[in-house]
Each structure stands twice: as C-alpha cells, then as structure tokens.
Amino acid sequence: MKKILSSVLLFTISFIAHSQTLVFTQTIKGTVTDEQSGSILGNVSLVIDAVSPSIAGMTDANGNFKLRKVPIGRQTIRASFVGYEEAVISNVEVTSSHEVVLEIHLKEKIKKLDEVIVTAGKQKYKAINEAAIVSARQLSVDEAVRYSGTRNDPSRMAQNFAGVSGSNDARNDIIIRGNSPSGVLWRMDGIDIPNPNHFSTLGSTGGPVTILNTNTLRNSDFLTSAFPAQYGNALAGVFDLRMRNGNNEKYEYLAQMGFNGFEFGAEGPISKANKSSFLVDYRYSMISTIQSLGLSVGTGSATPYYQDGTFKINIPTKKAGVFSVFGLGG
C-alpha cells in the first residue's frame, strides 16, 4: 500500500510540474485612481523596491499599469504622482501561477503656507464600503492565507479580531461580543447568501469546512456593529464578500492540494476585445481520497466527504456597464 501511495503522490507532483512551465518572474498590473473622486490617474510613476535591475513603469491614459518580469516573493511597490502623497504597498505576494492585480488609490497632497497640517497615514484596514464609518475593517485575502490556524478560511481569520471569538475549533462559527452566530449576515457581491459551509446545520451560519475559496475572493468588508442601512437583516455582524474577476488577458490554470482538498482552477479571457473573462474553480475532499486508499488519518468513522465549485463570468458592456454572473455551491 505504501508503494501505491508513493506512486500516486509522484504522479500528482509530476502532473503539477509539467502542467505549466516553471517561471521565476511574474507580472504585476492594475489601476491607479484618486482616493476621493475615484477618477483615473495617468502618468503615475511606479517602482518596485530592492530589485536589481530596477523595475519601474507608468500608468497610461486609462490609469492602467503593468510591471513585467517581477521576481516571485514578497515585494514592495511605490506609486508617486505630482500633487499626491506617495503610496507604499508592502508585502505584495508574487507567485508564478497568477498575475497580481492591484487597485491603488492616491491621496491628494495638501500644502498651505504659514500653517502646519497634521494628517493621518493611509488606513490599510479602512472598509471598502464608504457608509461603514465605525466597527468595520477591510479583510485582505492575503491575511486569510497568512494567519496561523485559519485553514484558508475567512471565518476563522475573523476570529482573531477584537470582540470576535469562535465556539470551538471544530466549527468556524463567528461570535461577536457574545451575540448568536446566527445573527451574522453573509453577502457575496451585494447579494445575501445562506450559510457558506459544508455540513452546516439548519439555522446556523457556521460549519467545519468552508465552501468559500480564497483563490476566488478579493478584499472584502467585515462589520461588527453600526451597520449601514443596506444591511437590514444583520444583528451580530456582516461579512460582505467580493469575488474577483478572472484574468482578461491570458489563460491561467491552478492545481494544488492542501487541508481543504484537491483543487483545480482555470481562468482567462472570453474576448480580449471587450475585456470579458471567466473564472472557475473546483475542490474535492483530500481526507476522503486518502481514506479510500485504505489509509487512516485519525478521523475514525467521521470521514468528511465533500466537494465544491465556484465560477464567475464578467462581461463589460458599452451601454449597461458590466454584466456579471457568479455562483458557488457544495
């Protein structure tokens, strides 16, 4: 049986190694806008720190930029423009599997003669929703992956915030200031969704394994009180999630395995002319696969059999704005 397992692992590693050419650089792209008005900013200078030879670039007339051949690893990007404060984006994780897409906002630099103006620095955790004034923060997908014990689960990551706890390690229920977990409202791209977890019970908002996939999410909001009017059904808290769009310039593929299972994903352009794209991702329980080989992983008779899928289609239109369709389930 050990020889069989070794053969399966070698086959999996070989498949992943040959499914995509190994590269040691990647592209960082995105847009730069004014923090207050949201208008695009052209001719903004961008440079990557501590890289030799130096990598720099500028935004075009539409506020878009693209930095090519960036070494993989964690990088720091500086964006500067006349009349604006310099923005520093630290610990940007660059991997060989996906291009990095950033949304950079520059704040106007205000100067007055014979006066001293004291301003606070840029708030990294300020909520995306402008109506959320207090008890709200922005949840970075990178944090959900980096925090110890989160298991790539946004719910478990949120349990590290002040005033938030979990019921036990076997479930990811969110308890905010002693309120019931069932009072937490889940939203995806502006639409209320039910409990996004496998093996969930009726009327709950938690479970042992999440259906949410950090590879398909982008920065989202987590609110613990003083909810804006749009969150009318919330009593304890709000998790306002946003799903990212697929790469609209080239096709990219993903194959990996981890605690949440075997995962396969694909994304790319539907039409490069109108910047439309698709994103699809599928996962299957790794523990159930190992159990089927006759190997024990210590779960006894409680083997978690599950699978989930996520997709999104994004089509910009000239008259109606953006047409978007997404779905997730397990």
Q: Which CATH number covers residue 223?
A: 2.170.130.10
Bridge pairing between strands 25-34 and 100-106: parallel
Range of the domain at 52: 24-106
In terms of domains, do 143 and 221 share one? Answer: yes
Asked if the structure places residue 196 within a domain, the reply is: yes
Tokens encoding 97: 């599997």
Tell me the H-state helices in 130-250.
141-146, 154-158
In terms of domains, do 37 and 63 share one? Answer: yes
In terms of domains, do 236 and 142 share one? Answer: yes
How many domains does the chain fold into?
A: 3
Compute the residue count for the chain.
Answer: 330
Tell me the C-alpha distance between 122 and 47, whole Å: 19
In terms of domains, do 84 and 172 share one? Answer: no
Asked if the structure places residue 197 within a domain, the reply is: yes
In terms of domains, do 192 and 284 share one? Answer: no
Determine the pLDDT at residue 9.
42
Hey, what amino acid is at 90?
S
Q: Which residues pair with 317 in a beta bridge?
A: 321
Give Dmax (Cα) for the chain: 80
Residues 6+ apart with CB under 8 A from 214: 141, 144, 145, 152, 154
Domain boundary residue, one of 196, 223, 243: 243
Tokens encoding 238: 């709000």
In terms of domains, do 305 and 210 share one? Answer: no
In terms of domains, do 321 and 279 share one? Answer: yes
CATH number reported for the structural domain that contains residue 58 in this entry:
2.60.40.1120
Task: Check if the beta carbon of residue 277 is closer than 8 Å to that of residue 247.
Answer: yes
User: What is the pTM (predicted TM-score) of this model?
Assistant: 0.63
Determine the pLDDT at residue 17.
46
Domain boundary residue, one of 178, 209, 243: 243
Determine the pLDDT at residue 16.
46
In terms of domains, do 32 and 88 share one? Answer: yes
Q: Among residues 57, 63, 58, which one has the least CA distance to residue 32? A: 63
In terms of domains, do 323 and 282 share one? Answer: yes
Asked if the structure places residue 119 within a domain, the reply is: no
In terms of domains, do 146 and 234 share one? Answer: yes
155 CA to centre of own chain: 13
Task: Check if the beta carbon of residue 245 is closer than 8 Å to that of residue 254.
Answer: no
Asked if the structure places residue 219 within a domain, the reply is: yes
Bridge pairing between strands 217-223 and 321-329: unpaired
Determine the pLDDT at residue 78.
94
Asked if the structure places residue 315 within a domain, the reply is: yes
pLDDT in tens, the chain (330 residues): 545 444 444 444 444 444 445 558 999 999 999 999 889 999 999 999 988 889 999 999 999 999 999 999 999 999 999 999 999 999 999 998 889 999 999 999 887 677 777 776 656 667 888 777 788 888 877 766 777 777 788 888 888 888 898 888 888 899 998 888 888 999 999 899 989 999 887 778 888 889 999 899 988 899 998 888 888 878 899 999 999 999 999 999 999 988 778 999 999 999 988 899 999 999 999 888 887 787 776 665 677 889 999 999 999 988 878 999 999 999
Asked if the structure places residue 124 within a domain, the reply is: no
